[in-house]
Amino acid sequence: MRHAAYIFDAYGTLFDVHAAVRRHAADIGPDGQLLSEIWRAKQLEYSWVRTLMGAYLDFWQLTEQALDFAFRKVPSVDPAMRSKLLDAYWRLDCYPEVPAVLRNLKDNGARLAILSNGSPAMLEAAVRSAGLDLILDEVFSVDSVRRFKTDQSVYDLVASSWRLYPEAISFQSSNRWDIAGAAKFGCRTVWINRSDQPDEYRDFPPSLILPSLEGLVTIG
């Protein structure tokens, strides 16, 4: 079934969140993966907590704070790497299949957009660096509602802006909690389960589970 719009989460779905640390792996040492995992986990935790508190800070500030915490948790990594890692986060690698999949969907008449926790500046840099700026129709940032996913106002950004019913939107994310949020809003949801994680949030199941975005080309 083809949909009018395909909306993609950015970090972890289109862009590899661990690419920044991997780019400097030789300088970071053997605890690089641990640092990267803590960095990502705290980045997300801060977004959820601040939405619950009603104390918004943009995602770049949370990214900086999360990295600072990760350095304290992993003292074997030199904090002098901070500026290099933050700079690398502006130019994260996209997953290999992303450009071709998005072009295929675009060629078949779908509208394409990103819906992300990322700040507008972060997303603009990442999209341009990956060469996706000529493929995407729009990039939606939570910054306009000052709340993070899974707040339902975030998913409504697309529906309201493009005047679409939720069921006309196919929403893709590698984050299972994000899929749950979009499912509750009423979107068709595709969980891109890249690392074969166990399912959760069983009361808000995904419409489809794929190991990468490639399946969208054949399944629709």
Confidence bin at 220 (pLDDT 50/70/90) = low
Average pLDDT of the segment spanning 120-126? 97
Do residues 99 and 131 touch, judged by C-beta distance below 8 A? yes
What was the pLDDT predicted at 53? 98
Q: Token digits for 78? A: 């030199």
Confidence bin at 3 (pLDDT 50/70/90) = confident
Looking up tokens 């060629």 gives 107
Residue among 200, 206, 162, 165 nearest 182 (CA): 206
On the question of pLDDT at 1 being above 70, the answer is: no
On the question of pLDDT at 2 being above 80, the answer is: no
Inter-CA distances, 40 with 25, 33, 60, 93, 161, Å: 16, 11, 12, 16, 29
What was the pLDDT predicted at 219? 83
Residues with a catalytic annotation lie at: 9
- Residue-wise pLDDT tens digits, 160-169: 999 999 999 9
- 111: β partners: 5
On the question of pLDDT at 190 being above 90, the answer is: yes
Average pLDDT score, the chain: 96
∠ at Cα 27 (25, 31), nearest 5°?
Answer: 60
∠ at Cα 9 (86, 153), nearest 5°?
Answer: 105
∠ at Cα 133 (158, 179), nearest 5°?
Answer: 40
